[in-house]
Structure formats: structure tokens, C-alpha cells
Structure 1
Amino acid sequence: MLKPFERKKYNWLVGAGEEYKWQDTDLKPIFPDNVNILNGEELLQFINTDVSQYIIFTDLKAFPIGSHILKIDKYEEFIKSDCELILLSVDSSYTSIYCKDPKLLSELYVNMESLKVDKLSYITDENDFRSTVIVR
């Protein structure tokens, strides 16, 4: 889903979530309980696509390496922050991506089209139902 985004160039703030992977004939959490910030390499290790994964809900925020990482709850905070991308997924099927870079946003959109995603659309002020940019 984030293929066009250079995930290794970022530190990732891991918010609330319920994410599992199939391991040793059982479901195990993707992220350890005590982890809330991952560098890009660590994130890629945890979200290894070689195993089946089940995302109930997730909240990931990407900050350029060396930038200030802070908790972001509202869209206005996202705009003012160093955060470049927010990935929110709810109920295993509703995913929202907020991205500051218009060119990259277009590339993400094209990638999602290639994955044949249902009901793909841009989030705008007119159609954004969220009052926050977090999942609970």
C-alpha cells in the first residue's frame, strides 16, 4: 500500500492499534507492546509481507529522520508538524492516508488503483468524516 513512500527515510510513531501476523500456527501481535517509535528499517521488519497479516486497526505516522516526533491528534496539528504521512486503518477495511507531498500523494493513489482498492477517493475538507487523525 505504501510502496511509493520511502519508508526507510522516516521514523514511525506507532499509535493505538490491533495488528496481527500469522506465526507458528497462531496469531501474534505485529508490534510489541512496548514499542511506540520505529525507524524505517524496523518498521519494514515488523510488517514483513511474507506472512499473512490481519490489521484490525492501526495508526502510523511518518516523521523524517532527525525531525521532532510528537503526538498528533488533529489535522491542524499534522499540517503544522514535521509529520509527512499518516496511515489510519479501521475495521480491517477502511484506510485513510494523509500525505503532505502532492506528487507522492498522486503516486500513492496510482499504486492503490493498481491494487484494485474499492471506493478509492481523495480526502478533502468536504468529504473528510474524521474529527481526529487517530484511531481508537
Structure 2
Amino acid sequence: MFEILNDIEINGLTWRIGGGESYIKENGEPLFPSLCTVNGETLHEIISNEEYYLIFVDLKAFPNKLDVKEISTYQEFVKSECQFVLLLIDSSYVTIYSKDQNIIQQLFSKGVSAGYENIEYITDENDRNKTLIAF
């Protein structure tokens, strides 16, 4: 996850951590507190200081804490103040939504350069997600 978020300015955003399943490798403790809100600095500390494994991850970024709310559909995402969504399902399927087209292009290029497979832009025509919740 650090590799994905490393080039994005996560500080200054408020991150809603939804239900998920992620563990610290050393002791098997949960990586994230479930269903909570953290600032970008705290998220950066969590994902950069531990070795972990991810099964399900549901992260959503908002400009400030007052804007944080559950976003469960694409339509809610569009209408909300939520700026960025990262969903990881079954340890391997990553879906990212961003209202900043530059971030999408940057992450797409980074994924192609890193050799990730089955990378595609999500559009209205090919979006198969019924929900923006990972777990």
C-alpha cells in the first residue's frame, strides 16, 4: 500500500478506514483500527513503519474531518467531498477512484512501469463495481 500511496500527498487529508482485514506481519495484530478516521500523517506512519499483509482494505480520503461520511456507491462518491478511494479485495484486486485526473494518470503510469497486470481505467462503460466498500 505504501508503494501505491507513496507519490500521493496523503498528509493534510482525513482518511476514513472502513471495514477490512490487514495484519502486521510480526505479531498478527490488525494494521488498522477498524472503522475509524485518521489524519494523513498517521496513515503515512502506519503504512511506512510496519511490514504487513493486506487482505481487504477500504480507504477514503476527505479534505477535512467534517466532510467524512460513509461512501458506498460511485454516485455518493461523485456527490461527496471524498477525493480519493482505494479498495483492495482478496489481497490482489486494487481499485482506485480519484477526483484528480493527474493522480489517476500518475498511478496508472506507475503501475504499468512496475509491471502490474490487468491495469485499466475505470469508466462508466466498464465499471463493474456495485459498491465502493471492500469488506
Give yes or no for TM over 0.5: yes
One-letter amino acid of the counterpart of residue 18, structure 2:
G
SS of residue matched to 2:61: strand
Contact kept? 1:63, 1:69, Cα under 8 Å:
yes
Aligned pair count reads: 132
Mapped partners of 1:96, 1:126: distance in 2: 16
Identity %: 39
Q: Is residue 2:28 matched to residue 1:27?
A: yes
- Does the 8 Å contact 1:10/1:62 carry over to 2? yes
Tell me which amino acid in the other structure corresponds to 2:47.
I
Offset of 1:72 from its aligned partner? 0.6
Q: Which amino acid aligns with 1:27?
A: G
Alpha-carbon distance, 1:76 to partner: 0.4
Once the two structures are superposed, the pairs formed by residues 1-136 of structure 1 within 5 Å of their partners are 1-23=4-26, 26-33=27-34, 36-48=36-48, 50-65=49-64, 67-136=66-135
Shift of 1:43: 0.6
Return the offset for 1:51.
3.6
Q: Deviations over 1:64-121 (max 9, x none)?
A: 1355111111100100111100000000000000011111211111122232211111
- Large movers: runs of 4+ above 4 Å: none
Q: Which has the higher strand share?
A: 1
SS of the aligned residue for 1:9 comes to: coil
Greater relative contact order (Cα < 8 A, sep 6+): 1
Q: Kindly report the root-mean-square deviation, in angstroms, between the aligned alpha carbons of the 2 structures.
A: 1.5
Question: Which one has a larger percent helix, Structure 1 or Structure 2?
Answer: 2
* Matching residue's letter, 2:10: R
Q: Call closer, same or farther: CA 1:104–1:52 in 2, change over 3 Å.
A: same
The runs of 5 or more residues in structure 2 that have no matched partner are none
Q: Which runs of 5+ in 1 are unaligned?
A: none
Contact 1:11 1:64 in 2 (8 A): yes
